[in-house]
Amino acid sequence: MYKTTELRQIFGVSRQTIASWCGEFSEYLSPTATPSNGTHRQLSDDDVRVMALVAEMSRAGRKFEEIHISLRADQRGDLPDITALLAQIDPETQLILYKTQVLELQAVVENIQRQRDEAIGQAKLLREMYTDATTRIQELFLNMARLEARLERPPDD
């Protein structure tokens, strides 16, 4: 996830420009890119690709209407080379960025592990349901066979 400060450095624009772009092109962005008041803006890789196209087309003198047309056509910009950008940032800021990325990735890993555990639980439940259903089918076939056998027997006189 990227913050406004990082986007300012990546695209060389002001905080107000990032906020303006996020407002104008919100329909192409994730909810965290256009948060409610008091919440910090966080942009995903997909959001940054949108911003990259907006920055590129804005520098080329394109109007917002043209940018909307391109975004509706699923055009996106390229993710910037973060390694090259980090080389321009002082080591303390780099360390903060790395720590932030580690925390974000740890949260992603925890979420994936939780989803995996839920999926394993669901798989066990489905396996039990499958076993119960196949057992019941076998019982029903056995009952059907018994009934068919009784129906085929001549009645006792």
Q: Note whether 29 and 47 are within 8 A (CB).
A: yes
d(CA 15, CA 8): 6
Average pLDDT over residues 38-66: 91
pLDDT top residue among 7 and 82: 7
Per-residue tokens: 3: 């913050």
Q: Distances in Å between the alpha carbon of 157 and those of 151, 153, 154?
A: 15, 12, 9
Average pLDDT over residues 2-15: 85
pLDDT in tens, 56-84: 999 999 999 999 999 999 999 887 766 66
pLDDT of residue 36: 78
Dihedrals φ, ψ of 116, to 5°? Answer: -65, -45
Question: Has residue 6 got a pLDDT over 90?
Answer: no
When pLDDT is cut at 50, 70 and 90, the band that residue 87 belongs to is low
Q: pTM for this structure?
A: 0.53
Cα 146–chain centre separation: 55
DSSP of 67-89: HHHHHHTT---PPP-HHHHHHTS
Averaged pLDDT score across all residues of the chain: 88
pLDDT in tens, 103-141: 888 988 999 999 999 999 999 999 999 999 999 999 999
